[in-house]
Structure 1
């Protein structure tokens, strides 16, 4: 390829043959002869020309490269352009009071706490950001320090506004109202009280109300309760629940005596990952230790009758009793009565309960049927009562039971003497019920009561010595003088409460001999003993 290029250059540089036939003489010593019979050059001559031409070309290229290198060396190097850095200008602060000069002479945003690097374009771009504008609004609503130091009247006004906002939050808590109401309640108050400066300054929506409750009121209330529980005995009431987000929680309520009144206070809602007895016990124990509440102040424990809570070997109450052997434990009375009534209801015909449920199911899902029912009640001049769902839970009120055998027929009353209420008695007197049907009805009712009493005896321990001891503190029993001393039982059941045996026994005997206390025996348990404590003071 290189030989062809050289040949082309040779052909181009060589002019066409003239009359004199001049030929370029190479530097070689071999002469070239022109042959008139042909236009071709001898082969050897061409090779000599090619070699000579290539060597001359390489020499010329080397000379050119050397010349270029010498020119480059003689040229002066180009100077790098220096970058101009914008300096801070004092006139920028006239239209932008939020900007100051930092110690390096650069712009600094006071509200965002950021250095601004660049020129005026970057400053304007920062000024238009969403975060900067939000911080500007916050800064405008934040009063200066001099505002509080030199304006006592304004401070009193601000305190009144804060008190009003806290009272609104407490109003929601007391009446179990949603925080969404706070988006409208302050506006309503401002509209009702246009001449009130405090009402005009109310600015408390649901977000602020939630924060005040969570980070202010709740923490303060928990600290108050914790301080009282550190100094007094208390009982703990537990209950598990699952909220709408299927998160398992454990609700804690404490009961203690304070200022002459027995108080029940919400103590916490603990998130539990596992519902085992060990996990629940450890969660409660860590919570009490975290609040620095002595475990020895725990006097009683109440919970539902689930095996996790009331298990005799590994339940929560068993684990507490390992730490506190004299702890008084009580299961849920309502749940126990529910089980008793459910077992007794099996003695009644199943068709009765099914009939009641079918009535509710027929009307519950139809607004048209409910409207017709209401129209019928109005036509019959009946009170339009709301149709309630028949629940499995039955709330019962029972009197004190004696130690009897409910299944012993000797204790049964006559079937004719069983009382079912005024309306049933009126229906029986009308004679619209056959004799055999009435007898079967009375027999089933008797079986219901017998089964109910048996279930109550089975599920409630009426021989509990602690309950029998506590009955001595009934006002009538206390002033009667029948119980001569409570020292032995107190030391047996609650040894951690007794500090001076002689003083305790003397005060107990004085109660029976005090005529003023006998007059107060008709009061409730709480009122009576509050009065006793006041006399002691």
Structure 2
């Protein structure tokens, strides 16, 4: 008869489950671990009728160790197992910090059978203060080697277009092609999109930068125009959107341009 009796998890398991879920929530939403100290003090008062909340004890230190020692390790094992059994591509980028340690980000892009979607997963971010092609390749090779991932499963490589990454003779890519001759160089997708967009704008002869500057300056120095804009937004029951300033940084750092274009364009449409 015991086979037909429902066996509920032990209270300790339920407490552990709550602490792990809270740790995952902090990691997914980029919440500071110091928040867990305050939450740990309040959870028993928030749910006084719960035995689980009275035993909940995941502060900053415990939450950090849960993420680094348990959750991260489990996710890394899952990623390694997937990359060992199916094709995947790598996305890499190196930092150019001058006053701190330089880091080399390694991501894996693969098909997730659970969600039936192509996803990007974090693999590793080792320190590489001497960012030459030899050291960067060694960090990349070590990341695959210690996870038991064969080179044969690597089908594509993505990075920026720096010579240390994509040079013809002495680069990370040239070394990758020795380990995996069939790897495809996809280049930086974002740079490709930016170049294609720039060609389209030039062909259409639309002065995008001039329009962005003109929209901002039209409202920036005139309190009357700003009030007119606010009255119109209230009248149309629309969101109050802030006009972004298209600074020199935005114009030269192309990743900041789309946000500026979208916000300015929405504001103009409202007007």
Does residue 136 of structure 2 align to residue 280 of structure 1?
A: yes
Deviations 1:341-372 (A, max 9, x none): 45655966698268349739x95xxxxx7987
1:170: how far off?
0.4
Deviations 1:290-321 (A, max 9, x none): 22221222121111222222222222112111
Deviations 1:480-509 (A, max 9, x none): xxxxxxxxxxxxxxxxxxxxxxxxxxxxxx
Measure the CA separation in 2 of the matches of 1:327 and 1:318. 10
Which residue of structure 2 aligns with residue 359 of structure 1? 217
Measure the CA separation in 2 of the matches of 1:352 and 1:345. 13
> Any unmatched runs of 5+ in structure 1?
1-152, 364-368, 397-422, 425-537
Of structures 1 and 2, the larger Rg is shown by 1
Q: Aligned in 2, Cα 1:379/1:224: closer, same or farther, shift over 3 Å?
A: closer
Measure the CA separation in 1 of the matches of 2:38 and 2:97. 27
Contact 2:137 2:172 in 1 (8 A): yes
Contact 1:249 1:270 in 2 (8 A): yes
Q: Aligned in 2, Cα 1:229/1:204: closer, same or farther, shift over 3 Å?
A: same
Measure the CA separation in 1 of the matches of 2:72 and 2:222. 44
Contact 1:302 1:331 in 2 (8 A): yes
Does residue 45 of structure 2 align to residue 175 of structure 1?
A: no
Measure the CA separation in 1 of the matches of 2:212 and 2:233. 28
TM-score, length basis structure 1: 0.40
Does residue 106 of structure 2 align to residue 248 of structure 1?
A: no
Measure the CA separation in 2 of the matches of 1:187 and 1:345. 59
SS state at 1:237 partner = strand
Q: Aligned in 2, Cα 1:351/1:227: closer, same or farther, shift over 3 Å?
A: closer
Contact 2:133 2:165 in 1 (8 A): yes
Measure the CA separation in 1 of the matches of 2:18 and 2:223. 45
Measure the CA separation in 2 of the matches of 1:161 and 1:373. 57
> Any unmatched runs of 5+ in structure 2?
1-6, 260-267
Q: Aligned in 2, Cα 1:263/1:195: closer, same or farther, shift over 3 Å?
A: same
Q: Aligned in 2, Cα 1:312/1:214: closer, same or farther, shift over 3 Å?
A: same
SS state at 1:299 partner = strand
Measure the CA separation in 1 of the matches of 2:214 and 2:100. 32
Measure the CA separation in 2 of the matches of 1:357 and 1:180. 42
Which residue of structure 1 aligns with residue 230 of structure 2? 378
Q: Aligned in 2, Cα 1:351/1:213: closer, same or farther, shift over 3 Å?
A: closer
Deviations 1:169-212 (A, max 9, x none): 10112222222221222334323211001011111112221121
Contact 1:250 1:269 in 2 (8 A): yes
TM-score, length basis structure 2: 0.74
Does residue 184 of structure 2 align to residue 306 of structure 1?
A: no
Which residue of structure 1 aligns with residue 91 of structure 2? 237
1:270: how far off?
1.3
Alignment of 1:196-235 (within 5 A): 196-235=50-89
Measure the CA separation in 1 of the matches of 2:225 and 2:69. 50
Measure the CA separation in 1 of the matches of 2:61 and 2:96. 25
Q: Aligned in 2, Cα 1:193/1:339: closer, same or farther, shift over 3 Å?
A: same
Contact 1:226 1:293 in 2 (8 A): yes
Measure the CA separation in 1 of the matches of 2:107 and 2:131. 18
Measure the CA separation in 1 of the matches of 2:92 and 2:209. 37
Q: 1:271 aligns with which of 97, 109, 127?
A: 127
Q: Aligned in 2, Cα 1:351/1:387: closer, same or farther, shift over 3 Å?
A: closer
SS state at 1:322 partner = helix
Q: CA RMSD in A?
A: 3.4
Does residue 167 of structure 2 align to residue 316 of structure 1?
A: no
Q: 1:194 aligns with which of 48, 52, 58?
A: 48
1:242: how far off?
4.9
SS state at 1:331 partner = coil
Measure the CA separation in 2 of the matches of 1:179 and 1:351. 41
Measure the CA separation in 2 of the matches of 1:374 and 1:201. 54
SS state at 1:230 partner = helix
Measure the CA separation in 2 of the matches of 1:356 and 1:280. 44
Contact 1:357 1:389 in 2 (8 A): no
